[in-house]
Structure 1
């Protein structure tokens, strides 16, 4: 017998993170790794590099998990789309409404 996949059409979830937030966290961690390398090559003391990266990493985890719980799978995209809606629509003429097809 074959096992039936019960997770069809469900969003990807990992440790409480939903959908695109997994990518945001991964991208943020890569950026922190690059920042650590830049700071280390620039001659910053290692303890200061670690302190900065741990602080920023904690903030990154907190922010991404908060957005994941607040907006859910599609909420952040809906919020971004709502900003592009016009506040009002201005018509100079009513001819559009009076034309008969």
Structure 2
């Protein structure tokens, strides 16, 4: 009898692979492609393998550690929110949504 694989673990759940969530899988794969291309270019240019292999291994290890760190620290959307919050101008910062949740409809739009 064949092995049965379970598909569709749940609706609206992010894709996860070995602890990586959502877009971090794409970041890791893009980084690995860049490492492969860098190794290839270095090999074609004639750099010795004694230099290329350890350098690629260290950069690959750093890539894995870095992407896992980002995935665990920020989660599914946290990195995008963090980067977006850093781009908000100082004069728009506020500590609470209370100002916006207590607005009456039509208030502030010239209606009396």
Q: TM-score scaled by structure 2?
A: 0.75
Deviation of the 1:5 alpha carbon: 3.7
Q: C-alpha separation between the residues in 2 aligned to 1:29 and 1:99?
A: 52
Summarize the Cα distance change of 1:99–1:39 in structure 2 as closer, same or farther, 3 Å threshold: closer
Deviations 1:21-42 (A, max 9, x none): 0000000000000000111011
Counterpart pick for 1:28 among 23, 27, 31: 31
Tell me how large the CA RMSD over aligned residues is.
2.0
Q: What 5-or-longer segments of structure 1 have no aligned partner?
A: 90-96
Q: C-alpha separation between the residues in 1 aligned to 2:25 and 2:60?
A: 14
Summarize the Cα distance change of 1:47–1:19 in structure 2 as closer, same or farther, 3 Å threshold: same
Counterpart pick for 2:79 among 76, 79, 88: 76
Secondary structure of 2:90 counterpart: coil
Q: TM-score scaled by structure 1?
A: 0.83
Secondary structure of 1:88 counterpart: helix
Q: What 5-or-longer segments of structure 2 have no aligned partner?
A: 1-5, 93-106
Secondary structure of 2:59 counterpart: helix
Aligned residues, how many? 92
> Does 2:49 match 1:51?
no
Equivalence for 1:15? 18
